[in-house]
Structure 1
């Protein structure tokens, strides 16, 4: 008997979305960026997610810290931009309360009448933080293992990429999608659609694409095939990879993808590393947050490889955008409740099992009837 996918109603239901906020995303690790996004004292990055605001900044001693991006006086946003520098102090734009880079409240204008205020208890509220291979993660409640524990099955194979030394290439891109966050997460870990819907990846990988599911992370990977492609961009990219020395030879032909529960994904290429974060905005709206990181190599060959990587994946992303829109639209059909899962769909099975364990309502084929309402 085949396992079944998650029921369609949880991809559109506002009540289930609120359960996800409380039972999944409060404990989830959210990626802020990389330590090299904040290279100097006063440099900061911010993230708004599910009603929370976070700022991560580097202090004068070089320590990277994360705080709620909320003034302790009247809840104003402190750091205004996605990325910037506040100098030696973080100053509230509303009433000019001033915080040190370590989060301490260091100044309140004298004319505001707070002479007896205990500054020591009105510093910025810290956010739980973990740095994994240079990437900064935060969460709002305990519950899940550490990021290092979750990623432990793949720690050894990530070492050669020297992730801590990466620097950002450009800025974070935000891509709104009118789909549920799970639709994107499902598609990312779905291996069956690769030979059907991604002709470019099929040319590059041949039959080498593999998927596997561990307790907290899924891995998808493909080995780039040496056979000459009919596409000049793919032929040129494969030729350039053979010249790179940033990773060992056996990894120069490998594209690997890791999806950390529940909504953070890393695309690990020989020439760059990207992260994607699927930020839920509503039951049917998600913001994809993404950026590429690279080793500071200015060679012409490396720049060309990164351009060709972008060119190839631009088409893949366009194909996936159409696919997830089609799936999300089908979730509202009266003809669909759940579908069978193949034994090969190990990542989707693991994801569905975890959802049902955390939120038992996900076991229901249809949305429960609220008190005072009649069944449809």
Structure 2
């Protein structure tokens, strides 16, 4: 068995984790060598969201995702199929397209004009006779694995055994299906928000239930004491139900008072703020009025990039427009509060005095995430950083 095979066996086992009562150590939130292993063992084999199928609805439409030093292009072919390729010409490694999106009949390299079809085939090479051993059929674009789940397109760079998106979210299929993700459309372009924190800090904060009543006054006023978290294998489920009280501010009251009936949703879903965190770095925030996805991609040991975009079903009712704006106002404050928190935590992680901290029994999502990290990279069990060069031994 390979190291990853052993790691997956440990993750899936029901054995007691001897480190379950302790957090991940602070040094792995600042260490270059640890990030290198995370990229190799966690990120390259993991699924990453790119866009919604409606954003590549017509032949030739494409969207790109740049991460981990790679650029991936998702494009709909003339045959109607959606495919993914590395955004790299097979001749001299030139990028074929620039920017987040576009539409083209053919992919033409801007360096030497090699031509690729939207299905990835190489069909045109200027001065082809000067390449006596070149076989067009063997030099198409390098494919990237792709999965479409409820209208959202995901890619991964390598196959190393992590479950697919549908498999991760299988326990919640009935709940998700009622929101009609496939019929949604984006409410605006993807927002990119750089953060001076390790990528794990974003995810830890997302799954942390104990900070809600302490640090999020507005969210606490909105959902009261209904907030709950659950760990389910490779995905976490979090939720709270909107309540009404006199302490709420103007926009919180607007949201609770004016949310109109959404006919395809059951009554319980109307007031529920539902969140799913997917391994290792993606989240869906689901409301009756819209959904948001957020993704946090590592840039360095102490920086990451948040990709965010909102989607909704077409609905021109004035009440729905008001509620969506209220939603934005409420969550803008929550995001600002979280940014302040994680930036201070990141600073604390750099302290040589901090090793590991205790994890409460109720912090089931943090426990689940830490178990996976320790299985995939066993050095994460060490409370303090090993000697430089440890990852090469």
State the TM bucket, normalised to the shorter chain: over 0.9
CA distance 1:2–1:363, change in 2 (3 Å): closer
- In the TM superposition, 1:275-294 aligns within 5 A as 275-294=293-312
Say if 2:354 is the partner of 1:332.
no
- Separation of aligned partners in 2, 1:121 and 1:306: 50
Is 1:243 the counterpart of 2:261 in the alignment? yes
**Structure 1 partner of 2:152:** 135
Determine if the alignment matches structure 1 residue 163 to structure 2 residue 178: no
Check if 1:200 corresponds to 2:218.
Answer: yes
1:184 is paired with a residue of what secondary structure? Answer: helix
- In structure 1, what is the equivalent of residue 5 of structure 2? none
Q: TM-score, normalised by structure 1?
A: 0.95
Q: Does 1:125 align with 2:142?
A: yes
1:98-113 matches, within 5 Å, as 98-110=115-127, 113=130
Distance in 1 separating the partners of 2:389 and 2:215: 43
Matches of residues 239-318 of structure 1 in structure 2 within 5 Å?
239-245=257-263, 247-318=265-336
* Structure 1 residue runs without a partner (length 5+): none
CA contact (8 A) 1:222 1:256 kept: yes
Runs (5+) with no aligned partner, structure 2: 1-18
Kindly state the Cα deviation for residue 334 of structure 1 after the two structures are TM-superposed: 2.3
Instruction: Report the CA distance between 1:163 and its aligned residue.
Output: 0.8
**1:155–1:111 CA distance, 2 compared to 1 (3 A):** closer
Structure 2 vs 1, CA of residues 42 and 371 (structure 1 numbering), >3 Å: closer, same or farther? closer
Cα deviation, 1:106-137, whole Å, max 9, x if unaligned, reads 21224783476321111111101111111111
Count of matched residue pairs: 371
> 1:26 and 2:44 equivalent?
yes
Query: TM-score, length-normalised on structure 2?
Result: 0.91
Aligned-pair CA distance for 1:64: 0.9
Q: Distance in 1 between matches of 2:170 and 2:20?
A: 30
Do the aligned partners of residues 264 and 163 (structure 1) sit closer, same or farther apart at CA in structure 2, a change above 3 Å counting?
same
Deviations 1:174-210 (A, max 9, x none): 0000100000010000000000000010001100000
Cα shift readout 1:294-320 (whole Å, capped 9, x = no counterpart): 112222222222111111100000000
Distance, in Å, in 2 between the alignment partners of 1:44 and 1:175 is: 22
User: Does residue 353 of structure 1 match 2:368?
Assistant: no
In structure 2, C-alpha distance between the alignment counterparts of 1:370 and 1:318, rounded to whole Å: 36
User: 3-state SS of the aligned residue for 2:119?
Assistant: coil
Aligned twin of 2:191: 173
Matches of 2:28 and 2:134 in 1, distance apart? 48
Whether contact under 8 Å (2:122, 2:141) holds in the other structure is yes
CA distance in 1, matches of 2:80, 2:245: 48
Paired residues of 1:45 and 1:55 also in contact (CA < 8 A) = yes
Is the contact between residue 20 and residue 367 of structure 2 (CA under 8 Å) also seen in structure 1? no
Deviations 1:194-241 (A, max 9, x none): 000000100011000000101100111100013355312111111222
How far apart, CA to CA, are the structure 2 residues paired with 1:93 and 1:301? 48
Query: Do 1:2 and 1:343's aligned partners in 2 also have CA atoms closer than 8 Å?
Result: no
Q: Quick check: 2:239–2:273 contact (8 Å CA) kept in 1? A: yes
Whole-Å separation in 2 of the counterparts to 1:220 and 1:371: 39
Contact 1:263 1:277 in 2 (8 A): yes
Tell me the CA shift for residue 31 of structure 1. Answer: 0.8
- After the TM superposition, which residues 6-85 of structure 1 pair with which residues of structure 2 at under 5 Å, given as runs? 6-85=24-103
SS of match in other structure, 1:278: strand
Q: CA offset at residue 98 of structure 1?
A: 1.1
Shift of 1:246: 5.0
- Give SS of 2:178's match: helix
